[in-house]
Structure 1
Amino acid sequence: MMACVVTSVAAPTDPGPFEPHVFGEAYEHFVSRVYVIAIGLGMPSREGLRSAGLEDAAITMATGELVARGLLERTADPDAWDVPPPREAIARNADRMEHRAAMARATASEVEALWRRAVGQRPTLPPVGLQMLQGVEEIVDHVVALHRLASSRVWLVLDASPAAVRLLERVDEVPGLLTVRAGADVRLVLDTELLDSAAALSHIGRSRAEGHQVAVANGIPFTTVVADAAALVDLTAHDGEGEGSFEVRLGPPVRALTRLVEEIWGLATPYAAGLESELTPHERIPLPERDQRILALLTTGASDKVIARQTGVSVRTVERRVRWLMDHLGVATRFQAGVQAARRGWI
């Protein structure tokens, strides 16, 4: 609907006859063209729409559809309508359409199972409660659907798999794509490999701004989502098409995957941790914020390239600062530097 409206506004053509008895894409174009006429009228009325060449049957059908979509509003006069601000109305309608699309994708396999039984074909699908996923886009669609349908929790652990990268790209294109209901427990863990991705950093920033818990970890084996009583496993890191990836709603595997995510969360490092304010003077060292971030990233096993991107300095500067920090902490390895700093309460 929104795409049709944009097309009609951007490239108006001779509308031709307004035939209400059309279906599919033609119906969407018909409704969109009526919407554009209504916007042009400012305060559309049946008389005004007639003047634009519409017949009564077309007016009744199109205005009824536009009211149902929230693009027009009824008034006390049954032959007159108000036009709410299009930017807000189209955005609300698009949100509803995206939700319906996510629901449709999430239930497609169950509907096909019903169809197979109805036509007498033996189902070839997995048992009820287990759905195998094929390909990056299908996996991403199911991750989005799980976010939209969850009410109590969404725990998302991302490795640097093709599906995880594609998910972050889509979220960067549509920032509200992973919206969850208010009050849900949202946790996000990203593999340190993703810290070199602009899309990942943008998502981290939005998640933290929304009050969600964010952490990083090194060597995440595969992307996992736990949402309410469902879980999803993405194996595209091991096979580009993700053969073996699945969504499950069976109790035992969901509980097992929940335990796995809890373990990863417990081992992960909170993103962008800083110095504790209650340190005593002899425990403090005069670290600038940049060095605090370097230490925090060292605990995750991040590379110098990733740390340089995160702190906005060159790789050579990171190497010098890491060596300085290691010397002052009296440690032999980068990871020990992060651990020692954490033990002293510096990060």
Structure 2
Amino acid sequence: MTASPDRPPVGAPTPSRHSRGETYEEFLSRVYMAAVRLGVPSRSALRQSGLSDADVDDAVAELVERGMLSSSEDPDRWFVVPPREALTRRMDQVERRVALTRATASEVESLWRRAMGDVGQARGPAQVDGLAGTVEIAHRIAELHRSATTRVWWAVDASVAATGLFADLAAGSTRLSVREEVQVRLVLDSSLLGDPYALAFADRARELGHEVRVANGVPFSVLMTDDKDVLVDLSRYAEDGDGSFGAHRVTWVQALSQLLVAIWDLATPYGTVLTAGQVGEGPPVVPGRLPLGDKDARVLALLATGASDKIIARQLGVSVRTVERRVRYLMEHLGAATRFQAGVQAVRRGRV
């Protein structure tokens, strides 16, 4: 309901409260503003503003139900609830309804598509849904996690929406919870190794038995659930998430699932990054192999993810210059042309 100072024209047809459409909301706004102007509205005063008895009965009953007017001992006289209190309460009610609608939209859509079968796929009005803003993207990511029944595959870059969700989780949110039987595969871009909230999310995922890997150069965030719904999150490139979308078009799901498989195959297990070179393990004793200290093994594991020197230095608690020196040493002794190649060679040869 939006407030409008205009009076309803005399004799204008009044929409029924059962219609609940936009016209009815405008009608209520006009009646409410007339009541506010009157201070203590009465039936006779509202009649003078152009309302019939039927209009008064209809509008007042709805406004009392919404907590914007209250009854008095006189059945033809009412009190206006202080607008700041009444409108704040009304906004809270509307926001709760919107939040509930968002939370159930994905599940309801899934139920509808299952009921419609092939017809639903052909006639569905929202095979591709544009997502406006990081808040809506985050809502959709959370909805897909909650509604998944078999599988969640998620490759995450430095998405504004995703990193915001990770921060919420650190504050105690459960928005990314999934059913116990759902298979989860998570790939973090190496740029997220410097984000403590992203690492906390990855650690929690591993504790729950989910598969977690780290990849270098994830082009954009992609989420797929149950092999039928995908979300492309481009909020890394634009804070308003311009171009981001959700889809359940079969060909798009198939194409993006292949991208997820390729990213997964090229990624390094997150456990390797965490445990390589931990104190007490020591390097494997194999003749002819490059002897590795604890930190060198960790450096190689991080190199395999494409982590920068700055991120490696932060993870190891050493200076960037120290990392640069050790990387040059490791590349030279492994005969690697690039730093990434050094890390991959070490992982494949079992050196970390």
What TM-score does the superposition give when structure 2 sets the normalisation length? 0.61
Q: Residues 103 and 342 from structure 1, CA distance in 2 versus in 1: closer, same or farther, beyond 3 angstroms?
A: same
Question: 1:1-347 maps to which residues of 2 (within 5 A)?
Answer: 100=100, 103-104=103-104, 106=106, 127-228=125-226, 229-273=228-272, 274=276, 281-282=286-287, 284-347=289-352
Paired residues of 1:272 and 1:293 also in contact (CA < 8 A): no
Cα distance, 1:343 vs. partner? 3.3
> Structure 1, residues 110-142: CA drift from partner, whole Å, max 9, x if none?
9xxxxxxxxxxxxxxx93332211000100011
Asked if the contact 1:139–1:234 (Cα under 8 Å) also holds between the matched residues in 2, the reply is yes
Counterparts of 2:259 and 2:337, CA distance in 1:
31
Q: Which amino acid aligns with 2:142?
A: V
Structure number with greater Rg is 2
For residue 286 of structure 1, report the CA deviation from its aligned partner.
Answer: 3.9
- Matched residues in 1 for 2:261 and 2:269: separation? 14
TM-aligned CA deviation for residue 326 of structure 1: 2.2
User: Partners in 2 of 1:345 and 1:25 — Cα distance?
Assistant: 69
2:230 is matched by which residue type in structure 1? A
Q: Which amino acid in structure 2 is aligned with residue 103 of structure 1? A: A
Question: Percent of counterpart pairs with the same letter?
Answer: 47
> CA distance change for structure 1 residues 25 and 327 in 2, over 3 Å: closer, same or farther?
farther
Q: Is the 8 A contact 1:105 1:142 kept in 2?
A: no
Name the CA distance, whole Å, in 1 between partners of 2:247 and 2:241: 15
TM-score in terms of structure 1 length = 0.62
Residues 283/262 of structure 1: CA separation in 2 closer, same or farther (3 Å cut): farther
List, as ranges, runs of 4+ consecutive aligned residues in structure 1 with deviation greater than 3 Å.
Answer: 22-26, 97-102, 104-110, 274-280, 283-286
| Contact 1:158 1:164 survives alignment (8 Å) | yes
Deviations 1:84-120 (A, max 9, x none): xxxxxxxxxxxxx99956524547999xxxxxxxxxx
List gaps (5 residues or longer) in structure 2.
Answer: 1-63, 69-96, 111-123
Instruction: Name the CA shift for 1:283/1:183 in 2 (closer, same or farther; >3 Å).
Output: farther
Cα RMSD, aligned residues only: 3.2
- Contact 1:105–1:141 (8 Å) recurs in 2: no
Q: Contact (CA 8 Å) 1:99, 1:148: kept in 2 or not?
A: no
- Preserved contact between residue 283 and residue 294 of structure 2 (Cα < 8 Å): no
Q: Aligned partners of 2:312 and 2:66: how far apart in 1?
A: 51
May I ask how many residue pairs the two structures share in their alignment?
242
Distance verdict in 2 for CA 1:131–1:284, change over 3 Å: same
Higher mean alpha-carbon deviation, 181-190 vs 283-292, is at 283-292
